[in-house]
Amino acid sequence: GEMKGKIPPEIGKLRNLESLVLSLNSLTGSVPREIGDLTSLKMLHLDNLLLTKSIPTEMGRLTGLTELFLHSNKLTGAIPSELGKLLSINHLRVDRTDLTGMIPRELEQLQELNIYEFPPSVCAISPTRFVKDVTECSKTQAPSTITPTRKPTNFPTPEPTPNPSRKPINLPTPTTTSSPTIKFKSSRASETA
């Protein structure tokens, strides 16, 4: 059957987990920050779900990760620069999301990254290997993820607005004492797929 509900923060206690595949379910809510505690992970597939909010910066702690699939979700915000710490990453998919802003320069140093897909709503600063896949950021484009709803007044020499440092998102703590149960696919099952 299909899994529903939210990914519980308790998932971070599965420290020896090497493969987490929750694809093609009706899981909602945000990616819990505790996912960054799964430092043994090599494969993380959270694609084709109903996840919202932003990619947690804590994902940068998953340094052994070779595959990260977050595509086909309602994720918003910018791609965190912390993903540049995933030095073993080979396959990264964040396409079919509502992510915006610039592709972080830190992703340039990922020598193992051979397969990647981004949504058209993000841009890259030239020169970069990613420009051929997404639009080039304009010279005046700030890495802000908010598009103004009304047209700005045209001044002869507009000053670029400073980009405030991003504040971490505080996720609500669960009010229930019982932990929701999630069934995980084994890594053997994903290899045969």
A 10 A CB-CB count for 153 gives 6
> Is pLDDT above 90 for 185?
no
Predicted confidence band of residue 147 (pLDDT cuts 50, 70, 90): very low
Q: Give the count of alpha carbons within 13 A of 137, CB side only.
A: 21
pLDDT at residue 85 in the model: 97
Q: Between 182 and 65, whose confidence is greater? A: 65
Q: What is the mean pLDDT of the chain?
A: 82
pTM of the prediction?
0.72
